[in-house]
Amino acid sequence: MRLTTKGRYAVTAMLDLAIYHTHGPIALADIAQRQGISLSYLEQLFAKLRKRGLVTSVRGPGGGYNLARPPVEIYVAEVISAVDESVDTTRCGGAHNCQNNGPCLTHNLWHDLSDRIYDYLKQIDLQTLVDQRDPSGQRPPTSCVAVDVKLDIQRLNLSA
C-alpha cells in the first residue's frame, strides 16, 4: 500500500486535534511539538485539510485549528484523500499499465485489495481512534499519538 508520510502525518495531526478538541483552538506548534512533525509541513497539510472542510481556523491570540465536525463524523479515508493521498496497492498506481502497457496478471487482485482497504478506512472515524488510544482514559503520551490501524483478513473480508 502506498501511504506516504503525508497521509500518515495528516491522520496523526487530525487525531491529535481530535484528542484535544475540547480545549478550544489548537495551535499547530502544539501539534508539531507533541507529534514531532515539522511546523511548516503541518501548515501545508492543514491548508489542504481546511480547503476540504475538515478543519476551521481561528486567527489571533489563542487561535489555532478546530475540527470542522465532531470526531465521530470525520473518517480516516477523508483525511487521507484531503491531502491528495490515495490508497493504492497496485504497482502501476491504478494506470493499468503494469506490464507492457497493460495490466499485469495480478492487477485485479491488488486493485480489489486497494478498494477494500479504502472501504475499511472509510469506516474508521477519529472518535474511534481517540477511544482506542488508551483504554484507561488517561491522556496520551505527549511524544507520540500512534495511529495503529490493524488490517486483518477477516476485517477486510478477503476470504470471500
Which sequence spans correspond to the domains of the chain?
5-86+102-131
Name the phi and psi angles at 66, rounded to 5. Answer: -125, 155
The domain at 5-86+102-131 falls in which architecture? Orthogonal Bundle (1.10)
Q: In which residue are the cell numbers 475540527 written?
A: 67
Confidence grade of residue 111 (pLDDT, cut at 50, 70, 90):
confident
Residue-level pLDDT at 148 = 43
First to last CA, the chain: 20
Q: What is the mean pLDDT of residues 96-111?
A: 79
CA distance 131 to 117: 21
Residue-level pLDDT at 134 = 61
Cell numbers for 22: 475540547
Spell out the alpha helix ranges (H) of 52-102: 76-82
Are residues 36 and 148 in contact, defined by beta-carbon separation less than 8 angstroms?
A: no
Query: What is the chain's Cα-based Rg?
Result: 17
Residue-level pLDDT at 20 = 94
Cell numbers for 32: 508539531
Name the phi and psi angles at 76, rounded to 5. Answer: -55, -40
pTM for the complete prediction? 0.77
Assess whether pLDDT exceeds 70 at residue 158. no
CA distance 69 to 15: 13
**In percent, how much of the chain has pLDDT > 70?**
80
Q: What is the mean pLDDT of residues 28-32?
A: 96
CA distance 3 to 108: 19
Computed over every residue of the chain, the mean pLDDT equals: 82
Q: What is the mean pLDDT of residues 15-23?
A: 94
* Least confident piece of the model among 20-24, 59-63, 106-110, 134-138: 134-138
Are residues 125 and 74 in contact, defined by beta-carbon separation less than 8 angstroms?
A: yes
Q: Which of 19, 22, 4 is nearest to 144 (CA)?
A: 19
The strand pairing partners of 26, in sequence order, are: 65
Greater pLDDT, 50 or 5? 50
